[in-house]
């Protein structure tokens, strides 16, 4: 069953965040993830999202996402975003298409 990483980011130092943006996409691909949304343009339909950007990754399953998140490579990369903003990350189960039919 697919799984999704949902990342909310409010950047306070976008220039310092750039090295992180260069380091992480190859790791996502290496561990079997795929970007669904990469903090592109958005439209708020309800609520106060402020300057929040959202990034979505799709993973084959929860364990693949965990393998990425807890990998030595990603733990090193995550240090690149320290001091660049505030982040919230959630791992959620997707739906199996068969359960919808």
pLDDT tens per residue across span 18-74: 999 999 999 999 999 999 998 778 888 999 988 899 999 999 999 999 999 999 999
CATH (residue range 3-41+49-95): 3.30.70.100
Largest CA distance in the chain: 46
Residue with the two structure tokens 């999202």: 49
> What is the per-residue pLDDT for 42?
86
- What tokens does 46 get? 């309800």
All structural domains of the chain with their residue ranges: 3-41+49-95
The tokens for 101 are: 């039919």
Q: DSSP readout, 14-64?
A: HHHHHHHHHHHHHHHHHTT-EEEEES------SS--TT-EEEEEEESSHHH
Q: Grade residue 98 by pLDDT with cuts at 50, 70 and 90.
A: low
Per-residue pLDDT at 39: 77
């Amino acid at each position: 069953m697919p799984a999704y990483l949902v990342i909310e980011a409010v950047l306070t130092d976008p220039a310092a965040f750039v090295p992180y943006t260069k380091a992480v996409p190859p790791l996502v691909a290496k561990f079997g993830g795929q970007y669904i949304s990469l903090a592109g343009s958005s439209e708020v339909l309800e609520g106060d999202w402020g300057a929040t950007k959202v990034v979505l990754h799709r993973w084959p399953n929860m364990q693949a996402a965990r393998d990425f998140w807890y990998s030595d490579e990603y733990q090193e990369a995550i240090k690149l975003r320290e001091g660049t903003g505030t982040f919230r990350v959630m791992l959620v189960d997707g739906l199996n298409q068969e359960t919808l039919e």
